Amino acid sequence: MTSLAAVILAAGKGTRMRSKMPKVLHPVAGRPMIRYALELPEALGASPVVVVLGHQTDHVKKVLPPTGWQAVEQTEQLGTGHAVRQTEEILKDFPGDVLMLYGDVPLLRVETLRQLVETHRRSGAVATVLTAIMEQPGRLGRVVREPAGRVVRIVEALDATEAERAIREVNTGTYCFQASFLYPALQDLRADNSKGEYYLTDVIGAACRAGLQVQAVQTEDWREAVGVDSKADLAMAEAIMRRQVLERLMVEGVTILDPPSTYVHPQVRVGRDTVLYPNTYLLGNTVIGEDCEVWPNSVIRDSTLEDGVVILPSCVITGSTIASGSSVGPFAHLRPESVLRKDVKIGNFVEVKKSLLGEGSKASHLSYIGDVVMGKDVNVGAGFIACNFDGERKNETIIEDEVFIGSDSQIIAPLRIGKGAYIATGTTVRKEVPPHALVYNTKDQVHRDNWALQRKPKADTEHGHVEQAQSED
Ligand code: UD1
């Protein structure tokens, strides 16, 4: 089989984005655009993969995967043909085809590229271009065909005649080339056009003039192959990708009550019969099991929910694992490394951070549980605080099985509370508690008889105002 290499052009400034950030770093569905471009050659088994960078190169390299690509730098952006020339040293003797991609085309599907490569190889063409039919082709290059339909050249909108500008078939900028044709052809490029750039598109015309075969493959849907050039394009790409993800989930049996207000990143997996209520965000590498309920206004990122978990409204859940039968919220915050075992209940205004809650444990109201390892069937009363930070270090609290923590209690970590211990309401626990002990602080209750009566305001009926009683103290 012929070998396949890939080049990803990503040196352009992306001026029309009007951004400080390089264009290919703008995220679509949570991932920088260039990551999508890199996935395509990988899926097709292309190697090597050469990325042409030129603008804030170090920033771009940081978001690329650690392996599977090499970068070349185009220090001056003198056009797409000039950009490809930068890969010459690596690819000029490559014994096969070179797939040419842009770093700013996040919706391109691997099936489309497979079709491009297959057509290219079946026909024996030296170059095959991916084209699209567009109602408003704007500034894109037009594909000029001879009456019999053969592609003869690509003309940039700026250099086109009026008749050529009326052509609706555009060059998407994605191609497959025989390396043995491409690199010699690049040598002959001239920058004698309205932009004064070296156009990669000119190699298509050159091939035709030399009597070599050029093929074109048309995309079924123009949107998949069109690049992101502006913030408006970015929003469009985001909307298309989001809709695709939701459609896939619905085909897989997920119930989505209001797709327009549901945001799910492409890597997220959701089991069937799970219900996503409006305004749900499932982000990053989140995995949700079957029969879960995610009620409105929650943001769940990089978390795993087993089957049958219920997330009540307005929760933020990050980097956490929730076992089946558990429920969280409303208004709860699970921060990274929180683990809820089976049938745990986290209620309203509870924050959990880097803590494990054993099976059947409950914290139903207003608590902070940070750096806690909690056993089974622990009951945490309202207003509990694990005081984990001493100003320098984060300290751990161990709460063994079946401990009862009364409301408004604090545990000053590091500490261990023995199995079955009972912490009375309003206790500050400073020392280790043995199993099955009762712990409380001695704070005597003092009261003064009738004190409140003497403070009571007297109504001055004549003047219509209230006088404050004088305290005798
Ligand atoms: C190019 C095509 C045009 C096609 C359009 C599709 C040429 C001459 N024209 O237009 O026919 O319809 O793409 O989007 O090829 N880049 C570099 N270095 C450069 C210039 C560009 O790496 O010096 C990269 C950009 O980062 C981008 C891609 O090439 O990823 C396309 O550049 P862009 O300026 O958007 O395309 P045009 O040249 O306008």
Helices (H), 3-44: 33-43
Q: Is the pLDDT at 465 greater than 80, yes or no?
A: no
Mean pLDDT of 173-184: 98
Using one digit for the tens of pLDDT, what is the confidence trace for 26-49?
Answer: 999 999 999 999 999 999 999 999
Q: Tell me, what's the pLDDT at 458?
A: 61
Mean pLDDT of 442-469: 70
Residue 436 designated active-site? no
Q: Is the pLDDT at 156 greater than 60, yes or no?
A: yes
Identify the band that residue 473 occupies on the pLDDT scale cut at 50, 70 and 90: very low
- How far is 404 from 340, CA to CA, in rounded Å? 18
Token representation of residue 242: 């989001």
Q: Tell me, what's the pLDDT at 456?
A: 67
Q: Which ligand 1 atom sits closest to the C-alpha of 14?
A: 26
Among the listed residues 244, 246, 264, the one whose alpha carbon sits nearest the alpha carbon of residue 255: 246
Q: Is the CB of 74 under 6 A from ligand 1?
A: yes
Strands across the sheet with 356-357, in order? 269-270, 287-288, 304-305, 321-322, 339-340, 356-357, 372-374, 397-399, 415-417
Cα 154 to middle of ligand 1, angstroms: 13
Q: Is the pLDDT at 472 greater than 60, yes or no?
A: no
Among the listed residues 372, 385, 386, 302, the one whose alpha carbon sits nearest the alpha carbon of residue 336: 302
365 HSE (CA, 13 A, CB side):
8
Identify the band that residue 468 occupies on the pLDDT scale cut at 50, 70 and 90: very low
Cα 172 to middle of ligand 1, angstroms: 9
Helices (H), 93-210: 110-123, 162-165, 179-187, 202-209
Cα 213 to middle of ligand 1, angstroms: 23
Q: Which ligand 1 atom sits closest to the C-alpha of 102?
A: 30
- How far is 409 from 398, CA to CA, in rounded Å? 15
Using one digit for the tens of pLDDT, what is the confidence trace for 61-73?
Answer: 999 999 999 999 9
Using one digit for the tens of pLDDT, what is the confidence trace for 308-352?
Answer: 999 999 999 999 999 999 999 999 999 999 999 999 999 999 999
Active-site annotation holder among 59, 265, 365, 436: 365
Query: 3-state DSSP call for residue 18?
Result: coil
Percent of the chain with pLDDT over 90: 91
Q: Tell me, what's the pLDDT at 467?
A: 43
The region of weakest confidence among 213-217, 233-237, 266-270, 455-459 is 455-459
Of 76, 80, 144, the residue with max ligand 1 atoms within 8 A of its CB, to mutate for a pocket test, comes to 80
Q: Is the pLDDT at 290 greater than 60, yes or no?
A: yes
Give the list of residues 6+ apart from residue 242 with CB closer than 8 angstroms, or none: 29, 263, 264
Q: Is the pLDDT at 466 greater than 70, yes or no?
A: no
